[in-house]
Structure 1
Amino acid sequence: MGQHAHFFYALEVPGEVKEVFKSQIEHLQEELPFKTWVHPQDLHITLAFLGNAPDDKMEAASERIEAAMKLQTSFELKIDHLGIFGRSEAPRIFWAGLKDSQDLKEVRQDVFSACLDAGFTLEKRPFSPHITIARKWVGEAPFYSAVLGAVNPFKNEEISFQAGRVVLYKTHLGKSPKYEPIKQLPLAPGV
């Protein structure tokens, strides 16, 4: 049985930041036993997960997002902490977190609203901006949140970057990197 392609909109993480993350991920892999680590080219900030999406709905959403992004200017984001989703002793997601950003919240709201207006049914959980680094804890000992402070590469130096594009990605399960950029929707240049 064939796999259906899944699609999502995300804020692009620039290439130079992915390179910095690559060395951070290599260091973290030595310290933390997670089943899978995200390929550096797949790093992103998810704004809206569409799932198996029909072309007409994706086109309608992209047109709305493109118009909305022309009214948003690029903005700075800062990565400054690590966190987890799932059970504290065996997390399912290990991620890098961002400093609170009103600009990011507005861009996410524009993308989310455009997808709803195009007819998509989206997840209702509150927006928790993050960059997934690894999935599924497989350590013999339980994971403890205290370890996040000990291995946090951002505690002495934040990573900053300009958020400049929303990208529509297609997922290719079983490949690495597994996210293919389908459409790039730029924000207006910053002042």
Structure 2
Amino acid sequence: MNEQTQGSTVRVFIALAPPDDAKDELARELGPAYEAYPRMRWNRIEDWHITLAFLGELPVATAALLRAPLAGLAAARRPVRLAMRGGGHFDERVLWSGIEGDLDGLHRLAGEVRGVVRECGVDFEERPLRPHLTLARSRRDDPSSVVKAAAGLAGFTGRPWQARRLHLVGSNIGRGPGAIHYRDIEAWSFEGH
């Protein structure tokens, strides 16, 4: 691989994002945890998302091949009605908020998205869909903060909202020190009726 192609990859996933007012509602609920556990590595609110398919590191040209098929899929689909509820953790390291609502529709959408990706010839590890928003990660020396923060979210029930756009997202993970940041490569509105 030459230097020119080495720099032309991006870590890619396809996701849904809650609207700003739903994220603000959850952020208010997290206020006490933000204060109590400042050492946790909190994700930026603008990066909260529900991953439908994680594709890993792809050449930029391959990511571009996904645009037209994903646009077509979004144009034919209706928005999915969801809500955030409760909280939990993965391995006492990752804090998340759960997702409820039209989970059957969410799973169908994820299956369709993954089908489009396979049809484009992109290999990726198919993991079971566990709908959630990743909120924070613990530091290695502080696993109890995630467990306590998850307990603080147990009674949270957010208002219902519509996932109105499908997002093809790139991240800078592995690109140096500091927080992970995500950016839309492109996003498409669900336009089906």
Which region of structure 1 is more displaced relative to structure 2, 31-40 or 106-115? 31-40
Which region of structure 1 is more displaced relative to structure 2, 41-50 or 177-186? 177-186
Number of residue-to-residue matches in the alignment: 184
Aligned to 2:104: 102
Q: CA deviation at 1:120?
A: 1.7
The 2-side partners of 1:144 and 1:162 are apart by 28
The 2-side partners of 1:5 and 1:58 are apart by 8
The 1-side partners of 2:146 and 2:135 are apart by 17
Q: CA deviation at 1:20?
A: 2.3
Per-residue CA distance 1:164-187 (angstroms, 9 max, x = gap): 111111213456671111101221
Aligned to 1:70: 75
Per-residue CA distance 1:35-69 (angstroms, 9 max, x = gap): 31101011111111222212332233222222122
What are structure 1's unaligned runs of at least 5 residues?
none
The 2-side partners of 1:140 and 1:172 are apart by 25
Q: CA deviation at 1:106?
A: 1.3
CA contact (8 A) 1:42 1:177 kept: no
**What stretches of structure 1 move > 6 A for 4+ residues in a row?**
none
CA contact (8 A) 2:94 2:146 kept: no
In the alignment, structure 1 residue 79 sits paired with structure 2 residue 84: yes
The 2-side partners of 1:162 and 1:126 are apart by 23
CA contact (8 A) 1:11 1:165 kept: yes
The 1-side partners of 2:66 and 2:50 are apart by 18
Per-residue CA distance 1:17-46 (angstroms, 9 max, x = gap): 222233333322234466311010111111
Out of 43, 54, 57, which is 2:59 matched to?
A: 54
Q: 2:71 corresponds to which letter in structure 1?
A: E
The 3-state SS of whatever aligns with 2:127 is coil
Q: What TM-score do you get using the length of structure 2 for normalisation?
A: 0.80
Q: Which has the higher helix share?
A: 2
The 1-side partners of 2:24 and 2:149 are apart by 24
Q: 2:100 corresponds to which letter in structure 1?
A: K
CA contact (8 A) 1:78 1:98 kept: yes
Q: What TM-score do you get using the length of structure 1 for normalisation?
A: 0.81
Q: 1:117 to 1:156 in 2, by over 3 A?
A: closer
The 2-side partners of 1:141 and 1:127 are apart by 25
Q: CA deviation at 1:130?
A: 0.6
Q: 2:186 corresponds to which letter in structure 1?
A: K
Q: 1:162 corresponds to which letter in structure 2?
A: Q
CA contact (8 A) 2:10 2:59 kept: no
State, as a whole percentage, how many aligned pairs show the same letter. Answer: 22
The 2-side partners of 1:11 and 1:97 are apart by 14
Per-residue CA distance 1:56-83 (angstroms, 9 max, x = gap): 3223322222212222101210111211
